[in-house]
Chains A and B, each alone.
Chain A
């Protein structure tokens, strides 16, 4: 019965696309709590094909969008029909048993998404509980005017990065920002803990071993933390909390060159920079530096998934599934999604104009996604995100402050973090 229902559902979803006409049979309203502005744009495209399905979006902060859903799941009711979940938190929701199993839907189209995303959304038994929405391959976002003014060659390795930073320091320019307080994680820009994670992943390392036991004192984490500490100690990074007023001012004044972040940073730029400002059209993205010459220049930071809570009615599930199918697994959906400043996870779009020729006003004439799409397949697959991921982030965040201020050494601090993680 379930199989049949899913078949009908998939056919129902495909028909309007195949015949290029609106489907008026499906009616109803689905609700969604989300931090992602992209959903609204995707809905505008969806509405043309399904004029009788309404999507009611309640905008929320990134952390509220996760916390409130967990509470609704625990209480057994009250969750919205459609969820956007950050890739880092999806396992917490799967662990709660609160999401609809989408294995049957995903199995035939698995190859159309980056492999690491499908693993990210699966439980230990290979069941898939969410559909990848956006991916966030990492690049070095920078301001072109500074590069032109000082005739900078962008760094190939992290030691080049530090060396260049030392040169620029004499001119009053920082390479990037690292808040010594490590306080910016909860502002959804992933902050210092995010930086530690993406640097660990870049080396093919992880915070958890294959049995999901924390390994916060592993070689790769130590190397990543040492690099961040060096950025701070050598003074090449501005001590600013991501998203704070002085952070934005630093970029606006041309005092900070760039930021190492995920593809969604285009969205943040659109938030921080207003059309007409001097930074508008001045941003570009380049490959991130590698740890060794010729080494991996790819990593991932964040990204999101669409999922459906198990507690809603079957008819609502069907409507939500129709939306997810459109948003995550059609070229039309990928197009409107890309237009709203996020890199869709749907691989068939990557060889088309949707990705290859996509430009953003804030980033001038650069074909941003063409570049980032090359990064995505090179992202090391070792990263593991178990349910206690949030807790480990919090432990690392607290410990980072002691490490960056020199209260403890990198090795000792990470060993303490490891001990704390194991005691929970």
Chain B
């Protein structure tokens, strides 16, 4: 210990800050999730009651979990496919104005979610929204983007896809650029076509990158808050209520801080399962390729 004193000193700022702002709140909120917090001063220990209520007696929690899974299934594969597609197009050395396109695709990512949500809110307006006006000119009847239970999740998906495709595209692009061009040259000499080259070379070598995109997108979807908060505020009904939005409502609107903390911990476990599963899926296959 004493021999490495200086080294410990140098790494200590992170750990000090992490303990204060990371570890302490996590432990605190775990303890909180075992309590009912009715007034400013009084905590009432209830054990696992909050968790039991959530899992057995609270249909709203299950609805919000269903919503998140729905958002995930509809959004994530499509978004990642789209971002790889765009990355492939932009990776072509012959294409002109590449930098311009990269910037254009990345712009939604660097724009604040709040301003995007406000613009989409106006676009999706039932009567005077741009989307419905455009559909109207094509003879398609008005769609209740934000005001029907069937469409609210789709609208949120459209917003997320629009915002995050650029970010994933940049990651896919960096993955593509790390693939040695000699491999492609060799394949070309061997007479492989474009599609064959993609499935036999690009896709396997891109696998860890795709894995990374899937895992971050999973975590992102399970923690979705800002987009539905501004666009639909969880409605109509509970049709676009996400787990974190429900957490926020319980803790800060209804002031059930213990219950809110319990939702936070359940969300953590729920996001852990698909994340770990995906790490396994993507990592195992990756190993077999990197060995070769």
Contacts and interface: CB of A to CB of B under 8 A. Distances in A.
Interface of A: 67, 70-71, 73-74, 76, 92, 95-98, 179-183, 186, 239-241, 244-246, 249-250, 387-388, 390-391, 394, 397-399, 401-402, 405, 420, 423
29 contacts: A70-B255, A73-B40, A74-B40, A74-B257, A97-B40, A98-B40, A180-B236, A181-B148, A183-B146, A183-B236, A239-B126, A245-B122, A245-B125, A246-B127, A249-B128, A387-B255, A394-B249, A394-B254, A397-B235, A398-B60, A398-B235, A398-B236, A398-B237, A401-B149, A401-B236, A401-B237, A402-B237, A405-B148, A420-B59
A397 B60 CA distance: 13
Given A70-B255, A74-B40, A246 B128 contact: yes
A76 B37 CA distance: 14
B252 interface: yes
Interface in B232-280: 232-233, 235-239, 249, 252-255, 257
| Interface class of chain A by DSSP | helix
Given A96-B40, A398-B235, A402-B237, A180 B147 contact: yes
B125 to A, nearest CB: 5
Given A183-B233, A420-B60, 10 more contacts: A67-B252, A70-B252, A97-B39, A183-B146, A183-B236, A240-B126, A246-B127, A398-B60, A398-B238, A405-B148
A182 B236 contact: yes
A179 B147 contact: yes
Contact of B254 (A97, A390, A398): A390
B58 interface: yes
Contacts of A394: 249, 253-254
Interface string B116-150: 00000010011111000000000000001011110
Closest 5 CB pairs of A and B: A181-B147, A181-B236, A246-B127, A401-B236, A401-B237
B194 interface: no
Nearest to B238: A398
Contacts, number: 84
B253 A390 contact: yes
A416 to B, nearest CB: 10
Interface in B35-77: 37-41, 57-60
A242 B283 CA distance: 50
B42 to A, nearest CB: 8
A32 B253 CA distance: 20
A75 to B, nearest CB: 9
Nearest to B257: A74
A67 B235 contact: no
Contacts of B122: 245
B146 A96 contact: no
Contacts of B237: 398-399, 401-402
Contacts of B232: 183
Contacts of A401: 149, 235-237, 239
Contact of B233 (A70, A186, A405, A420): A186
B246 to A, nearest CB: 10
B70 to A, nearest CB: 17
Contacts of A390: 253-254
A92 B128 contact: no
A73 B40 CA distance: 7
